[in-house]
Amino acid sequence: MLGRVNHIALVVPNLAEAAAKYRSVLGAAVTAPDALPEHGVSVVFVTLENTKVELLEPLGSDSPIAAFLAKNPAGGMHHICYEVEDIIAARDSLVAAGGRVLGDGQPKIGAHGKPVLFLHPKDFFGTLIELEQV
Amino acid sequence: MLGRVNHIALVVPNLAEAAAKYRSVLGAAVTAPDALPEHGVSVVFVTLENTKVELLEPLGSDSPIAAFLAKNPAGGMHHICYEVEDIIAARDSLVAAGGRVLGDGQPKIGAHGKPVLFLHPKDFFGTLIELEQV
């Protein structure tokens, strides 16, 4: 079921500062910041040879990552996004195996304009998993 | 400086259970478990198309990941390992920029038999970064 690692998402308290550090100290290619109010985040991507690191800062008053940052004020690792070919088939297979999909179980259109789902971290040893149909 | 993402490391409380779940529920290729007493971990790799996920369970009484698991009993995301061409040059550049290398600052031979260093998570927004010379 799991295809490529599409990205690893890290929450940071200050996106401009984090982007500058990844660029200047770690020597990585970093995209321009993008505000995604419909997702409650601002984002930059650190573009690596084989995958991406997504740096996320909360945007707006009901950001889905605000609670994470309140619990981890310095920031931290937030989720891994895997690519799948068929997100409905993946969801149905996971649910049949006892897995829980967050929200109403229907794929949403994610930050890349593709259908995404999130799986309950309690079902996967404390790691939040995003599936993205590509 | 940063090359490929070599792996994303997740700590799990029970390696056999986690390996079985990644194999059977997520449909991923998972290697046989490997005990690395000199590193204080047992490990399996989830082999993906473009990178690897490393599942880690503490091994022995002074495992370097025991404290993480005590703080996160369900498990969780532990670190990201990036490949670099020259780990000494990478270290010297990071230290010159004010970054802190964990331990005595000398590369150790990591789980893959290659020189590795870990960077202080407080310098990188709460994310533990491993550098591996490949």
What would the 3-class secondary structure string for chain B be? CCCCEEEEEEECCCHHHHHHHHHHCCCCEECCCEEECCCCEEEEEEECCCCEEEEEEECCCCCCCHHHHHHCCCCEEEEEEEEECCHHHHHHHHHHCCCCECCCCCCEECCCCCEEEEECHHHHCCCEEEEEEC
Examine the residue annotation and report whether B38 is marked as an active-site residue of this protein: no
Alpha-carbon gap, residue A5 to B33, rounded angstroms: 22
- The nearest CA of chain A is from the CA of B38 a distance in Å of 25
Whether A50 and A65 have beta carbons less than 8 Å apart is answered as no
Q: How many helices (H) and strands (E) does chain A have?
A: 3, 9
Chain CA centroid to CA A93, Å? 22
The pLDDT, as a whole number, for residue B9 is 98
Q: What is the pLDDT along chain B (134 residues), one digit of tens a residue?
A: 999 999 999 999 999 999 999 999 999 999 999 999 999 999 999 999 999 999 999 999 899 999 999 999 999 999 999 999 999 999 999 999 999 999 999 999 987 889 999 999 999 999 999 999 99
The partner residue sitting opposite B4, judged by closest CB among A24, A49, A122, is: A49
Chain A residues near residue B10 by CB distance under 8 angstroms: 125-127
Question: What is the mean predicted confidence (pLDDT) over A4-32?
Answer: 97
Average pLDDT in chain A: 96
Question: In chain A, what are the domain boundaries?
Answer: 5-133
* Distance of residue A38 Cα from the nearest chain B Cα, in angstroms: 25
Nearest CA among B128, B117, B121, B80 for reference residue A52: B80
B22 and A97 in contact (C-beta within 8 Å)?
no
Minimal CA separation from B42 to chain A, in Å: 16
Neighbouring-strand partners of residue B91? none
Per-residue model confidence (pLDDT) at position A122: 96
pLDDT of residue B51: 98
Flag whether pLDDT at A52 surpasses 90: yes
Residues of B at the A interface, defined by Cβ within 8 angstroms = 1-5, 8, 10-13, 18, 21, 24-28, 46, 48-51, 53, 55, 72, 74-80, 82, 93-94, 97, 99, 121-122, 124-127
Instruction: Assign domain B5-133 to a CATH class.
Output: alpha beta
